[in-house]
Amino acid sequence: MLAEVGFIATLLAFVAAGYAIVASILGARRRSERLVLSARNAALLVFPLLLAASGALLIGLTGGRYEISYVWQVTNPSTPSFYRFTALWGSQQGSLLFWNLIMSAFSAAALLLNWHSHRRLMPYVIAYTMATQAFFLALVVFLENPFTRYWATPAGQVIESVFMPAGARAPDPRILAESARGLNPLLRHFGMIIHPPMLYLGFTGFVIPFAFAMAALASGDLSTGWIKATRRWSLVAWLFLGLGLLLGGRWAYDVLGWGGYWGWDPVENAAFLPWLIGTAFIHSVMIQEKRGMLKVWNMFLVIFTFSAVIFGTFATRSGLISSVHSFAQSEIGFPMFAFWAVVTLVSVGLLLWRWNRGELRGEHAFTSLLGREALFVLNNAIFIALFFAIFWGSFGAPILSELFLNTNITLGADYFLQVTPPLFIALYLLMGIAPLSAWSATSLRRLGRALVVPALVTVVFVVVMFVTGTRSAGALFGYGVVAFAGIVALYEIYRGARARREGLHESWLRAVTALFARNRRRYGGYIVHLGITVIGIGVIGSTLFQSETQQTLARGESLALAGYTMRYDDLTFATGEDGRNMTIADVTVSRDGQAIDRLRPRQDLYPEMPMTIAGATSPFPGVDDFYVLLSGWSEDGSTATFKVYFNPLINLVWWGGLLLIAGTLVAAWKDEPLPARASARGRVAGSAEGVA
Amino acid sequence: MATQASWEKGASGTKIRAVKRGGERLKFMIGGLLILGAVAFLIVSGTLAGAQYFITVDDMLSNERYAGETVRISGVVLGDSIRYDSQNLVIDFTIANIPSQFDDLATALRDAATDPNATRMPVRVEGQVKPDLLQHEAQAILTGSLGDDGVFYATELLLKCPSRFIEGGPEQVAAQADA
């Protein structure tokens, strides 16, 4: 029953999405309100149907229904209930269904929340979201079905099918349970539990701005309506994507045991690419809202953000590129590639058509190289340059060399470490300068005056870093540039609060809170800048100053690294809840003779799979991390071998991530309603714009 | 942007504006070209510095030009050959050639590991903890160079084992039970 319910619900969702596409397009062309409403209802039905389908699969997973092949593959009787739940996205088929569920939730929310405010765009929004949805549902229904079951044929073979084939019978559930495989041990980690859903939320979330942009192009309503409607959606998707990337890094750091968090692996890059264009987009839409410029450019950015999302999904799931992440080599590669190509070509074609008709002309021209508009454009250019550099390194060079040079050339981490730092430095500089420049035109002198205080504070910061022991000129330069961006953000908040304090005689606390409440987007943005600064300092410190050692220690012996000593105390053995055999070392880390922390590095051996995982260490107090891997031991535990990394400032990467979340939430929070008269006037203006 | 100029009132004003706009435009164009040039330079120099051939074991051993070069190489791990010295962190194992054309990676890996005629090459990785995925029939992607002693010294080791988690079903177990 369960498998049938799940499959039929998925199939119905596919049919509903297909119907919604047809009905919405017909409704828009024939101006039929009834058809559009019918399309909307069908589109809204997709989410509950997928909820039912995912629910059915979850019941199968938690209830140990091993006749369902997906359940057999990702769980076994010793899987703890928590991981049974997360197994929903533990492998290709389930994660595709889950991806669909999240996307349908976004579509439903956007339809419900924006229905009245952007009525003219809605039929096309339905068509575009549902076209994407229908494609991904088709993958689930026809190619990667999580609801197939195992059946034993009279000939003694086992086959997979959703419905019972004639003459077949269900295999013995006991045998199925005994042979079931279980979740990939690498995926049993906190970061892996949240990382995929966050990434999916980020990826699928961008379908909403994309659909609104396409709706604007298709309907001819090219006012800023689509941007106003999607501002928050973009921020939410952008936040989740960023979180997904951070959690992925955290997972790699904790589980993969090589002492780092970002390896410039093609699949990591594939998820980073939409983030880069998405970031360019959320900056440059501000120019369109404020000045009516860059209309074509913004369309281009939103199209390519979504295109990069689809490409990233394709790269991750098709096994296009050799990578630790290629967890699935499968038949969905070609359809996904075709979908990506079609989406990109159709959208760009639509954009060029409108552009050619002269409907996307800017309302102002650029007047100054130092005006905020120009600096934003420069910021966009750098983001796009980063995008191309990373795309070329991960996909362009390997694919082109294979196609045209008959050899396969790949670009390793060296390439990325050489090409990206100058671009990141340029971004941080702009992040510092742009907030201080004025709209349309700033004279060099005025900009210079605004820069004095932040520049001085930056110099002080660099001197402090020098005095506390950083001697490398490159590192000091990097710290300075990165810190400058954050210092400007803090300075701007301070300036705003000081002005309120002097003008309105408010207390500091009141001035700051009022400042944020009045202009959430701007000051939330500064908090995000601050978060990016903190991350940048962590990245520089941990990349340039990582130190490592490896030693075999007898019980009671110590090793020294970066001013710390680590003593090997004891070795114990234990069995985990999911049946893993753990070998745990107890070590004490001290500095200047004082014990700071006790760490328990361990190795896990999974009996059902010949796989061991060298778990890293518990969180280390402070900004630095002492990262210990247990690599070997004598049977009686008298000696043990450790690989130890000292990663300075690395915890700033995670703390910066928290600031990033907080800032984005502030920026995306609903503004306080305007006074009644102002908002009424706004509405009249808006509708006049819509008619024109 | 030229159309913008005609919005200004008066013929003489238009002319002055147009000249000024033209100058601005030139500035933007020069700035844009400088950025483009700088980025192109970065990417080209990075590509020249970071490019590595990604080759098979057969390529490595049959073509002189790869000798001594840093390359990336792909091969299948032979489980019996894995030796790990956990005291000194030295991993030794042998990889066998995977044909460059195949339909299904898991099958190709299995065939390559069992083919007695496949080219084999010893590998040494130093200073690394034995990775969890280093096991029989895993695909190893190694970065390093071939030493004069015929051993491939890898500085980077990436492993994939698609066969473990993706392929196959309960065929054998169930079929045995039926018999």
**Is A60 within a domain?**
yes
Residues of chain A in contact with residue B24, where contact means CB-CB under 8 angstroms, are 365-368
Do the chains contact at B46 and A393, CB–CB below 8 Å? Answer: yes
What's the mean pLDDT in A46-54? 97
Q: Do A327 and B165 touch (CB under 8 A)?
A: yes
| Exposure on the CB side of residue A381, measured as CA atoms within 13 A | 20
Substitution target from B132, B137, B155, B176 for chain A, most A beta carbons within 10 A = B132
**Mean pLDDT lowest among A102-106, A407-411, B44-48:** A407-411
pLDDT in tens, A583-609: 889 999 888 888 888 888 888 877 655
Task: Tell me the average pLDDT across A5-28.
Answer: 96
* pLDDT, position B9: 38
Q: Give the span between the Cα atoms of A668 and A199, in whole angstroms.
A: 19
| Choice between A631 and A513, residue whose per-residue pLDDT is larger | A513
- Whether the CB of A328 is below 8 Å from some CB of chain B: the reply is yes
Average pLDDT, chain A: 86
Q: Over 90: is that where the pLDDT of B138 sits?
A: no
pLDDT of B163 above 70: no
Mean pLDDT of A142-152: 90
User: Does the structure show a pLDDT above 90 at A196?
Assistant: no
| Residue A24 or A596, more confident | A24
- The answer to whether residue A558 neighbours chain B at the CB level (below 8 Å) is no
Q: What is the largest CA-CA distance in chain A?
A: 88
CA atoms within 13 A on the CB side of A145: 21
Q: Please report, for the domain that includes residue A66, its CATH number.
A: 1.20.120
Phi and psi angles of residue A144, each rounded to the nearest 5 degrees, phi first: -125, 70
Q: What is the pLDDT of residue A321?
A: 60
pLDDT of residue A622: 77
The C-alpha torsion from A269 through A271 and A277 to A282, rounded to 10°, is -140
Q: What is the residue range of A98's domain?
A: 1-188
Of the pLDDT bands very low, low, confident and very high (cuts 50, 70, 90), residue A658 is: very high
Residues of A with Cβ-Cβ distance to B174 under 8 angstroms: 150, 152, 158, 171-172, 175-176, 179
Interchain proximity B86–A632, CB inside 8 Å: yes
The whole-number average pLDDT for the span A647-669 is: 91
In a domain, A488, yes or no: no
Whether residue A348 lies inside any domain: the answer is no
* pLDDT tens per residue across span A114-125: 998 888 899 999
Residues A333-349 pLDDT 10s: 788 889 999 999 999 99
pLDDT reading at A509 higher than 50? yes
What percent of chain B is predicted at pLDDT more than 70? 73
Helix and strand element counts for chain B (H, E): 6, 7
Q: Which A residues in the span 178-217 are in contact with B, Cβ-Cβ below 8 Å?
A: 178-181, 184-186
| Residue A668 three-state SS | helix
In this prediction, residue A323 has a pLDDT band, given cuts at 50, 70 and 90, of: very low
**Side chain identity at B123, as an amino acid letter?**
V
- pLDDT, tens digit, for every residue of A58-98? 999 999 899 898 998 888 888 888 888 888 988 888 999 99
pLDDT of B177: 37
Q: pLDDT at position B123, please? A: 95
Angstroms from A675 CA to nearest CA on chain B? 36
pLDDT of residue A664: 93
Average pLDDT rounded to a whole number, residues A284-290: 87
* Lowest pLDDT segment from A157-161, A607-611, B111-115: A607-611
Give the model's confidence band at A691: pLDDT under 50 very low, under 70 low, under 90 confident, else very high.
very low
Alpha-carbon torsion angle B98, B104, B107, B112, nearest 10: -10
Q: Going along A347-493, which residue ranges are E strands?
A: 409-411
pLDDT (0 to 100) of residue A608: 58
A455/A435 Cα distance (integer angstroms)? 14
Task: Tell me which chain A residues have a C-beta less than 8 angstroms from the C-beta of B129.
Answer: 257, 614, 629, 631, 643
B33-37, B84-88, B121-125 — which is least confidently predicted?
A: B84-88
What dihedral angle (degrees, nearest 10) is formed by the CA atoms of A105, A106, A107, A108? 50
Which chain B residues are within 8 Å of A184, Cβ to Cβ? 164-165
Residues 273-302 of A with CB under 8 A from B: none
Cα(B1)–Cα(A186) distance, integer angstroms:
55
Measure the CA–CA gap between A188 and A87, rounded to whole angstroms: 10
The helix/strand/coil state of B33 is: helix
pLDDT exceeds cutoff 60 at A50: yes
For residue range B50-107, list pLDDT tens digits in order: 888 888 888 888 888 888 888 888 899 998 899 988 778 899 999 999 887 666 677 7
Is pLDDT larger for residue A364 or for residue B76?
A: B76
In angstroms, the Cα distances linking B68 to A656, A692, B128 are 43, 69, 22
Average pLDDT over residues A312-320: 77
The whole-angstrom distance between B19's CA and the closest CA on chain A is 13
Residue A540 lies in a domain: no
Let me know if residue A482 belongs to a domain: no
Chain A, 123 to 152: residues with Cβ < 8 Å from chain B are 150, 152
User: Which of A6-20, A354-368, A427-441 tops mean pLDDT?
Assistant: A6-20
Task: Answer yes or no: is A485 within a domain.
Answer: no
Distances (CA, A) of A589 to A561, A573, A596: 10, 21, 6
Among A89, A101, A91, residue whose Cα is nearest residue A17 = A101
Last residue of a domain, one of A173, A188, A203: A188
pLDDT at A671: 66
Among the partner residues B27, B160, B175, nearest to A156 by beta-carbon distance: B175
In a domain, A640, yes or no: yes
Strand partners, A586: A570
Question: How sure is the predictor about A325, in pLDDT bands with cuts at 50, 70 and 90?
Answer: very low
- Which chain A residue lies closest to B178 (C-alpha atoms)? A156
Number of domains in chain A: 2
pLDDT at A270 over 60: yes
Instruction: Please give the pLDDT value at position A620.
Output: 58
Q: Which of B124, B64, B54, B71 is nearest to B95 (CA)?
A: B124
- Which percentage of chain A shows pLDDT scores above 90? 47
8 A C-beta contact, residue A287 and residue A364:
no
Q: Are A377 and A385 in contact (CB under 8 A)?
A: no
Closest-approach residue (CA) in chain B for A293: B1
pLDDT recorded at residue A617: 53
A637: left (phi over 0), alpha (psi -120 to 50) or beta: left
Residue B157 is predicted with a pLDDT of 86
pLDDT exceeds 80 at position A191: no
Out of A369-378, A419-428, A496-505, give the one with best mean pLDDT: A419-428
Residue corresponding to tokens 């990262």 = A627
Q: Does any domain span residue A524?
A: no
Over residues A367-392, mean pLDDT: 88
Cβ–Cβ gap B47/A322 under 8 Å = no
Confidence of residue B35 (pLDDT cuts 50, 70, 90): confident
Confidence of residue A575 (pLDDT cuts 50, 70, 90): confident
The residue ranking higher by pLDDT, A429 or A330, is: A429
By the 8 A CB rule, do B109 and B139 touch?
Answer: yes
Chain A residues close to B86, C-beta within 8 Å: 631-633, 641
Provide the ipTM: 0.75
Pairing assessment for the beta strands B152-160 and B120-126 based on DSSP bridges:
parallel
Model confidence at A580: pLDDT above 50: yes
Q: Which residue among A171, A188, A205 closes a domain?
A: A188
Q: Cβ A418–B86 below 8 Å, yes or no?
A: no
Which A positions 157-176 lie with beta carbon below 8 A of chain B? 157-158, 160, 171-172, 175-176
Percentage of chain A modeled with pLDDT above 70: 91
Confidence of residue A404 (pLDDT cuts 50, 70, 90): confident
Average pLDDT value for residue range A6-10:
96
Q: What local confidence, expressed as pLDDT, does residue B5 receive?
A: 39
pLDDT value at residue B20: 52
> How many Cβ atoms from other residues are within 10 Å of residue A365's Cβ?
19
Last residue of a domain, one of A127, A157, A188: A188
- Smallest Cβ distance to B4: which of A156, A176, A365? A365
- pLDDT value at residue A684: 36
Q: What is the pLDDT of residue A384?
A: 94
pLDDT computed for residue A442 by the predictor? 66
d(CA A536, CA A431): 12
What does the pLDDT read at residue B179?
31
pLDDT of residue A563: 87
Residues A200 and A263: beta-carbon distance below 8 Å: no
CB atoms within 10 A of CB B17: 18
Closest by Cβ to B24, choosing from A150, A171, A367? A367
- In this prediction, residue A408 has a pLDDT band, given cuts at 50, 70 and 90, of confident
